[in-house]
Chains A and B, each alone.
Chain A
Amino acid sequence: MRQYFGRKALIYALTFFVAVTINWMIPRFMPGDPIQGLVARAQVADPASVDAMRAHYTNLFGLDVPWWQQYVNFWAALLRGDMGISIWAFPTPVTDLIIRAVPYTLGLLIPAILLSWWAGNRFGAFAARRKWLDNTVLPIGYLLTATPYMWLALLLAWTLAILAGIFPVSHAYSFAVQPSWSWEFLGSLAVHWVLPFSSLFLVMFGGWAIGMRNLIIYELESDYANYLQALGARSRLVRGYAFRNAVLPQITGLALQLGTIVAGALVTEIVFSYPGIGHLILQAINNQDFFLLQGAFLFIVLGVLVANFIIDVVYTLVDPRTRIRMQGNAV
Chain B
Amino acid sequence: MGLRVNDLKVYYQTLRGEVKALDGVTFAVGDGEILGLAGESGCGKTTLGKSLIRMDGRMRHTGGTVELDGAELPIGDDRRMNRFRFSEVSIIPQYAMSAMNPTRKIGKMVADLLESRGLRYRNLAGELERRLDLVELPREVLGSYPLELSGGMKQRMVMVISTLLDPSLLIADEITSALDVSTQKAVARTLVGFRDRGFVRSVIFITHDISLTYQIADTIMVMYAGKVAEKARADVIVNAPRHPYTKLLISSLPEVGVRYADRKLAGIPGSPPSLLDPPTGCRFRDRCPLAHDKCAEEPPAVEVEPDHFVACWKA
- Which positions in A face B, CB cutoff 8 Å? 222-224, 226-234, 236-237, 241, 244-245, 248, 319-321, 324, 329-331
Q: Is the CB of B86 within 8 A of A231?
A: yes
Q: Which residues of B contact A245 (CB under 8 A)?
A: 101-103
Q: Is the CB of B103 within 8 A of A331?
A: no
Comparing B91-99, B182-190, B215-223, the segment that makes contact with chain A is B91-99
Q: Which residues of B contact A324 (CB under 8 A)?
A: 145, 147-148
Q: Which residues of A contact B53 (CB under 8 A)?
A: 230
Whole-angstrom CA separation of A128 from B123 in the bound complex = 36
Whole-angstrom CA separation of A330 from B145 in the bound complex = 9
Whole-angstrom CA separation of A137 from B53 in the bound complex = 34
Q: Is the CB of B101 within 8 A of A331?
A: no
Whole-angstrom CA separation of A272 from B161 in the bound complex = 59
Counting chain B CB atoms within 10 Å of each CB, the highest count among A230, A236, A319, A320 belongs to A230
Q: Which residues of B contact A248 (CB under 8 A)?
A: 103
Secondary structure type dominating chain A contacts: helix
Which among A234, A319, A321 is the interface contact of B116 at CB below 8 angstroms?
Answer: A234
Could you tell me the distance in whole angstroms from the C-beta of A175 to the nearest C-beta in chain B? 53
A330 nearest CB neighbor, chain B only: B148
Could you tell me the distance in whole angstroms from the C-beta of A146 to the nearest C-beta in chain B? 30
Q: Is the CB of A321 within 8 A of B98?
A: no
Q: Is the CB of A230 within 8 A of B103?
A: no
Give how many B residues have a beta carbon under 8 Å from the other chain's beta carbons.
Answer: 38
Comparing B37-45, B69-77, B136-144, B231-239, the segment that makes contact with chain A is B136-144
Q: Is the CB of B113 within 8 A of A223?
A: no
Give me 26 A-to-B residue pairs in the complex whose CB atoms sit less than 8 angstroms apart, sorted by A's number: A223-B93, A223-B98, A224-B100, A224-B101, A226-B95, A227-B91, A227-B158, A228-B101, A228-B113, A229-B54, A230-B91, A230-B93, A231-B162, A232-B82, A232-B87, A233-B116, A241-B101, A248-B103, A319-B103, A320-B103, A321-B102, A324-B147, A330-B149, A331-B138, A331-B141, A331-B153
Q: Is the CB of B113 within 8 A of A233?
A: yes
Q: Is the CB of B117 within 8 A of A233?
A: yes
- Contact (A237, B112) CB under 8 Å given A223-B93, A230-B53, A324-B145: yes
Could you tell me the distance in whole angstroms from the C-beta of B26 to the nearest C-beta in chain A? 24
Whole-angstrom CA separation of A331 from B103 in the bound complex = 16
- Which positions in B face A, CB cutoff 8 Å? 53-54, 81-87, 90-91, 93, 95, 98-105, 112-113, 116-117, 138, 140-141, 144-145, 147-150, 153, 158, 161-162
Could you tell me the distance in whole angstroms from the C-beta of A92 to the nearest C-beta in chain B? 51
Q: Is the CB of B102 within 8 A of A230?
A: no
B56 nearest CB neighbor, chain A only: A226
Q: Which residues of B contact A233 (CB under 8 A)?
A: 112-113, 116-117
Q: Is the CB of B145 within 8 A of A222?
A: no
The 10 A-B pairs of least Cβ separation, nearest first, read A232-B85, A227-B99, A223-B98, A231-B86, A223-B95, A237-B116, A232-B82, A233-B116, A230-B54, A224-B101
Q: Which residues of A contact B105 (CB under 8 A)?
A: 320
Could you tell me the distance in whole angstroms from the C-beta of A183 to the nearest C-beta in chain B? 46
Whole-angstrom CA separation of A224 from B113 in the bound complex = 12
B115 nearest CB neighbor, chain A only: A237
- Contact (A224, B148) CB under 8 Å given A230-B54, A232-B117, A237-B113: no
Could you tell me the distance in whole angstroms from the C-beta of B136 to the nearest C-beta in chain A? 13
B161 nearest CB neighbor, chain A only: A231
Q: Is the CB of B148 within 8 A of A331?
A: yes
Q: Is the CB of B145 within 8 A of A320?
A: yes
Q: Is the CB of B90 within 8 A of A321?
A: no
Counting chain B CB atoms within 10 Å of each CB, the highest count among A222, A231, A320, A321 belongs to A231
Whole-angstrom CA separation of A227 from B157 in the bound complex = 13
Q: Is the CB of B113 within 8 A of A231?
A: yes
Whole-angstrom CA separation of A226 from B162 in the bound complex = 13
Counting chain B CB atoms within 10 Å of each CB, the highest count among A223, A241, A244 belongs to A223
A318 nearest CB neighbor, chain B only: B103
Q: Which residues of A contact B98 (CB under 8 A)?
A: 222-224
Given contacts A223-B98, A233-B113, 4 further A-B contacts (CB under 8 A): A228-B101, A231-B90, A331-B140, A331-B141
